[in-house]
Structure 1
Amino acid sequence: MKLLFAEDEKFTREGVLKSVSWERLGITELHEAVDGLDAVAIAEQFKPDIVLTDIRMPRMDGIELAFHLRRKYPQCKIVFMSGYADKEYLKAAITLKAVSYVEKPIDVEELEDALRGAIDIVLEEQRHVANDTVAKENKSYMKQEAALQLIRGGYDEDMLHSRLLAADFTAVMQAPAATAVIKLISPGSQKETLGHLIEEALASSEQPYLYAWKDDHHAIVHFFSHQHDGVEISHVRHLCYELSVALKREFGLFSIAAGKIVPSAYKLQESYTSAVLRLQESFFHKPCSLILHDNTGSDAQSLHYVTQPEQLVRFTEALSEEHFADADQLLATITGDIRQHPGTLIVSVKELYYRFILEMDKFAQSRNITLFDTSEENDVAWKLILECHYLDDIHRVTAMKLDELRKAIQDRSSGGMSSTSSRIVRFIHLHYADDDLSVQDVSDHMQMTASHLISIFKDATGKTIKQYVTEYRMEKAKELLRNNRLKVLDVASQVGFKDGEHFAKIFRKSTGMTPSEYRERCQS
Structure 2
Amino acid sequence: MNLLLVDDEFHVRKKLMQKIDWKTLGIDRLLEAGDGEQGYELAVNEPIDIIISDIRMPRMDGIEMAAKIRELYPDCVILFLSGYSDKEYLRSAISLHALQYIDKPVLPEQVISAVKEAVSYCNNLRNTSFAAKIKEVRLARLLCTPKPDAGQLSCLLEECSLSTLAFSDSRTILIQLLTGDGIPSGLLEKLGELLEHSGLHYLLGDHHDNLIVIHLLSDKEQMVSSLTSSFFKPLFQRVSYLFKNTSYFIAVGQLAENIQEVYQSYQSAVIGLQQNFFLGSNSVSFAGFPESPEYRPDENFRRKLLGSVKQNDPHTCFLLLESLYQSYQLHPAGLISVVRENYYGILSQLFQHCLSHRIAFPSASNQQLWDVISSAKTLRDLHIIAVNLYQSYFDFVKKNQEELSVSGKLRRLIEENYGNPALGLQFLSESLKLSQSYISQLFKQETGTTINQYIITYRIDMASSLLLKSDRKISDIADCCGFTDQNYFTKLFKKCTGMTPSEYRGYLP
Calculate the TM-score normalised by the size of structure 1. 0.59
Asked whether the equivalents of residues 177 and 248 of structure 2 are also in contact (C-alpha less than 8 Å), the reply is yes
Tell me the SS of whatever aligns to 2:166: coil
CA distance in 1, matches of 2:249, 2:457: 45
**Which residue is 1:18 aligned to?**
none
- Do structure 1's residue 385 and structure 2's residue 373 form an aligned pair? yes
CA distances 1:435-463 after superposition (whole Å, capped 9, x unpaired) = 98965564554355655433223445666
- Do structure 1's residue 371 and structure 2's residue 362 form an aligned pair? yes
**Which residue is 1:404 aligned to?**
392
CA 130–272 in structure 1, closer or farther in 2 if over 3 Å, else same: same
**Which residue is 2:136 aligned to?**
143
**Which of the numbers 212, 218, 222 marks the counterpart of 1:229?**
222
- Cα shift at 1:354: 1.6
**Which residue is 2:295 aligned to?**
305
CA 248–207 in structure 1, closer or farther in 2 if over 3 Å, else same: closer
CA 406–228 in structure 1, closer or farther in 2 if over 3 Å, else same: same
- Cα shift at 1:190: 4.6
CA distances 1:44-87 after superposition (whole Å, capped 9, x unpaired) = xx9999xxxxxxxxxxxxxxxxxxxxxxxxxxxxxxxxxxxxxx
**Which residue is 1:103 aligned to?**
none
**Which residue is 2:338 aligned to?**
348
- Do structure 1's residue 197 and structure 2's residue 187 form an aligned pair? no
Asked whether the equivalents of residues 166 and 217 of structure 2 are also in contact (C-alpha less than 8 Å), the reply is yes
CA 148–241 in structure 1, closer or farther in 2 if over 3 Å, else same: farther
**Which of the numbers 348, 352, 355 marks the counterpart of 1:362?**
352
**Which residue is 1:521 aligned to?**
none
Tell me the SS of whatever aligns to 1:210: strand
Asked whether the equivalents of residues 175 and 248 of structure 2 are also in contact (C-alpha less than 8 Å), the reply is yes
CA distances 1:139-190 after superposition (whole Å, capped 9, x unpaired) = 1111111112212143466863553343345784352211112111115265
**Which residue is 1:163 aligned to?**
156
**Which residue is 1:178 aligned to?**
171
Asked whether the equivalents of residues 180 and 220 of structure 1 are also in contact (C-alpha less than 8 Å), the reply is yes
- Cα shift at 1:204: 1.9
**Which of the numbers 240, 246, 269 marks the counterpart of 2:239?**
246
Asked whether the equivalents of residues 321 and 426 of structure 1 are also in contact (C-alpha less than 8 Å), the reply is no
CA distances 1:241-263 after superposition (whole Å, capped 9, x unpaired) = 52453244435211011111121
**Which residue is 1:283 aligned to?**
277
Tell me the SS of whatever aligns to 1:339: helix
- Do structure 1's residue 420 and structure 2's residue 414 form an aligned pair? no
CA distance in 2, matches of 1:497, 1:428: 11
CA distance in 1, matches of 2:332, 2:187: 28
Asked whether the equivalents of residues 318 and 327 of structure 1 are also in contact (C-alpha less than 8 Å), the reply is yes
Tell me the SS of whatever aligns to 1:173: helix
CA 235–335 in structure 1, closer or farther in 2 if over 3 Å, else same: same
CA distance in 2, matches of 1:289, 1:464: 57
CA distance in 1, matches of 2:249, 2:343: 23
CA 428–359 in structure 1, closer or farther in 2 if over 3 Å, else same: farther
CA distance in 1, matches of 2:241, 2:223: 28
With 192-201 and 434-443 compared, the bigger mean Cα shift is at 434-443
CA 469–315 in structure 1, closer or farther in 2 if over 3 Å, else same: farther
Asked whether the equivalents of residues 204 and 212 of structure 2 are also in contact (C-alpha less than 8 Å), the reply is yes
- Cα shift at 1:199: 1.1
Tell me the SS of whatever aligns to 1:179: strand
User: RMSD of the TM alignment (CA)?
Assistant: 4.6
Specify every segment of 5 or more residues in structure 1 that has no aligned partner in the other structure, as ranges.
2-25, 31-45, 50-125, 481-486, 507-516, 519-524
Tell me the SS of whatever aligns to 1:307: coil
CA 236–337 in structure 1, closer or farther in 2 if over 3 Å, else same: closer
CA 362–428 in structure 1, closer or farther in 2 if over 3 Å, else same: farther
CA 254–173 in structure 1, closer or farther in 2 if over 3 Å, else same: same
Asked whether the equivalents of residues 178 and 260 of structure 1 are also in contact (C-alpha less than 8 Å), the reply is yes
CA distance in 1, matches of 2:323, 2:232: 35
**Which residue is 2:31 aligned to?**
none
% identity of equivalent residues: 19
Q: Which amino acid is the alignment partner of residue 179 of structure 1?
A: T
Asked whether the equivalents of residues 272 and 287 of structure 2 are also in contact (C-alpha less than 8 Å), the reply is yes
Looking at CA atoms only, which structure, 1 or 2, has the larger radius of gyration?
A: 1
**Which residue is 1:316 aligned to?**
306
CA 285–488 in structure 1, closer or farther in 2 if over 3 Å, else same: farther
- Cα shift at 1:384: 1.3
Q: Which amino acid is the alignment partner of residue 281 of structure 2?
A: P
Tell me the SS of whatever aligns to 2:296: coil
CA 141–263 in structure 1, closer or farther in 2 if over 3 Å, else same: same
- Cα shift at 1:133: 3.2
Asked whether the equivalents of residues 407 and 446 of structure 2 are also in contact (C-alpha less than 8 Å), the reply is yes
- Cα shift at 1:236: 6.8
Tell me the SS of whatever aligns to 2:256: coil
Asked whether the equivalents of residues 183 and 256 of structure 1 are also in contact (C-alpha less than 8 Å), the reply is yes
- Cα shift at 1:470: 10
**Which residue is 2:69 aligned to?**
none
Specify every segment of 5 or more residues in structure 2 that has no aligned partner in the other structure, as ranges.
2-17, 28-118, 483-488, 498-507
Tell me the SS of whatever aligns to 1:260: strand
CA distance in 1, matches of 2:458, 2:163: 70
Asked whether the equivalents of residues 167 and 256 of structure 2 are also in contact (C-alpha less than 8 Å), the reply is no
CA distance in 2, matches of 1:201, 1:369: 55
CA 404–427 in structure 1, closer or farther in 2 if over 3 Å, else same: same
CA distance in 1, matches of 2:322, 2:141: 41
**Which residue is 2:325 aligned to?**
335
CA distances 1:169-223 after superposition (whole Å, capped 9, x unpaired) = 5784352211112111115265323312321321223321112222112221111
CA distance in 2, matches of 1:336, 1:467: 47
CA distance in 1, matches of 2:367, 2:264: 39
- Cα shift at 1:345: 1.8
Asked whether the equivalents of residues 178 and 259 of structure 1 are also in contact (C-alpha less than 8 Å), the reply is yes
Tell me the SS of whatever aligns to 1:232: helix
Asked whether the equivalents of residues 124 and 130 of structure 2 are also in contact (C-alpha less than 8 Å), the reply is no
CA distance in 1, matches of 2:154, 2:171: 17
CA distances 1:289-329 after superposition (whole Å, capped 9, x unpaired) = 0111244x2x23xx111222211111111111111121111
Asked whether the equivalents of residues 236 and 258 of structure 1 are also in contact (C-alpha less than 8 Å), the reply is no
**Which residue is 2:286 aligned to?**
292
Q: Which amino acid is the alignment partner of residue 370 of structure 1?
A: F
CA 197–354 in structure 1, closer or farther in 2 if over 3 Å, else same: same
Tell me the SS of whatever aligns to 1:151: coil
CA distance in 1, matches of 2:230, 2:164: 20
Q: Which amino acid is the alignment partner of residue 315 of structure 1?
A: L
